[in-house]
């Protein structure tokens, strides 16, 4: 009859070896991808619009963790899936170094996050957190596209605000003041308003898109709802942004000494009103029958 004490000692030794291996892998992963994490954090917190999207992601993560708290239990285990995700992350990092293209490195960061979550919480919990991983990937894309979309978004928002103000009877036009750097000026009844980076609506657009994506993924929506509702989320955000600019122009003469407070107040109202509309559009629960057939 086998000695149970020897069996227990052997099992304990295997567990310690697995833990040591996992600790080493995670430490290596952190070292390899720390430059990407540092760059991403620096870029995100350097721009107010990106910070809004980041906090939306964090709040969504906290909400999902609370909703799924019965399944998110600390159960570290080296599985084939966890090793597969971590291996993919190293392969992508190697591609980034070989091809000298940072996009592979950022893709590797997403795979590394997937591997760590899979190790810490297990495969079942990992499947439930996939929506958040997809949103993390979307946030990285927003950081990459922010410098490219800043000026076009400002032009579009300024143009629509000027057109809306004309319908209200204000003589309005958009002009470019030569730089460097060049400035976009909205002239309304002879008063100039600088359409700065903060007015491009990027934060509201990305926050709305992230929130809509999270809710649709979490509710396990049909594919056609993504195609229909995500463009509507972007449109809602864009409309609320140029309405915010228009409100500032209309109210500024009444609050000449409190322009900064007016600017911030209008921004917060537009942000939360836009996100509220997005929530209403995308938070409808799917029928119970569909949820029963989804991944548990």
For the cut 70, the answer to whether the pLDDT of residue 296 exceeds it is no
Question: What pLDDT sits at residue 135?
Answer: 81
- In tens, the pLDDT along 183-219 reads 888 888 778 888 888 888 898 999 899 888 888 887 7
Question: What pLDDT sits at residue 285?
Answer: 67
Question: What pLDDT sits at residue 293?
Answer: 43
CB 190 within 8 A of CB 256: no
Give the Cα-Cα-Cα angle 108, 80, 12 (nearest 5 degrees).
Answer: 120
Which stretch of 161-170, 225-234, 252-261, 263-272 has the lowest confidence by average pLDDT?
252-261
At residue 105, the 3 state secondary structure works out as helix
For the cut 70, the answer to whether the pLDDT of residue 15 exceeds it is no
Which stretch of 20-34, 46-60, 121-135, 184-198 has the lowest confidence by average pLDDT?
121-135
Question: What pLDDT sits at residue 60?
Answer: 74
For the cut 60, the answer to whether the pLDDT of residue 117 exceeds it is yes
- Beta strand segments in the chain, E: 172-177, 183-188, 191-194
Which residue(s) pair with 192 in the sheet? 187
Question: What pLDDT sits at residue 3?
Answer: 53
Dump the DSSP string for 199-228.
Answer: GS-HHHHHHHHHHHHHHHHHTT--HHHHHH
Question: What pLDDT sits at residue 74?
Answer: 67
Question: What pLDDT sits at residue 236?
Answer: 95
> How far is Cα of residue 270 from the mean position of the Cα atoms in its chain?
19
- In tens, the pLDDT along 152-181 reads 999 999 999 999 998 888 888 888 888 778
- What percentage of the chain has pLDDT greater than the value 90? 17
Q: What is the average pLDDT value for the chain, to the nearest integer?
A: 82
Question: What pLDDT sits at residue 91?
Answer: 93
């Amino acid at each position: 009859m086998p000695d149970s004490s020897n069996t227990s000692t052997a099992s304990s030794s295997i567990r310690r070896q697995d833990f040591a291996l996992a600790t080493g892998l995670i430490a290596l992963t952190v070292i390899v991808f720390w430059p990407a994490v540092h760059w991403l954090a620096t870029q995100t917190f350097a721009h107010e619009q990106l910070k809004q999207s980041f906090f939306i992601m964090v709040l969504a993560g906290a909400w999902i963790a609370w909703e799924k708290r019965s399944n998110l239990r600390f159960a570290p285990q080296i599985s084939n899936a966890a090793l597969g995700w971590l291996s993919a992350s190293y392969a992508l990092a190697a591609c980034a170094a070989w091809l000298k293209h940072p996009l592979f490195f950022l893709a590797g960061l997403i795979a590394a996050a997937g591997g760590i979550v899979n190790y810490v919480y297990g495969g079942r919990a990992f499947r439930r957190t996939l929506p958040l991983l997809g949103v993390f990937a979307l946030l990285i894309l927003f950081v990459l596209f922010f410098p490219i979309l800043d000026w076009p978004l400002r032009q579009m928002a300024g143009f629509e605000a000027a057109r809306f103000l004309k319908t209200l009877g204000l003589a309005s036009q958009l002009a470019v003041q030569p730089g460097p750097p060049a400035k976009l000026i909205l002239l309304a009844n002879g008063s100039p308003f600088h359409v700065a980076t903060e007015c491009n609506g990027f934060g509201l657009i990305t926050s709305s898109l992230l929130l809509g994506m999270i809710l649709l993924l979490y509710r396990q929506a049909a594919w056609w709802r993504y195609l229909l509702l995500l463009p509507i989320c972007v449109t809602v955000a864009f409309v609320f942004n140029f309405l915010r600019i228009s409100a500032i122009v209309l109210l500024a003469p009444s609050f000449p000494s409190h322009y900064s407070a007016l600017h911030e107040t209008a921004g917060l109202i537009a942000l939360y009103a836009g996100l509220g509309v997005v929530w209403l559009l995308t938070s409808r629960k799917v029928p119970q029958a569909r949820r029963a057939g989804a991944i548990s």
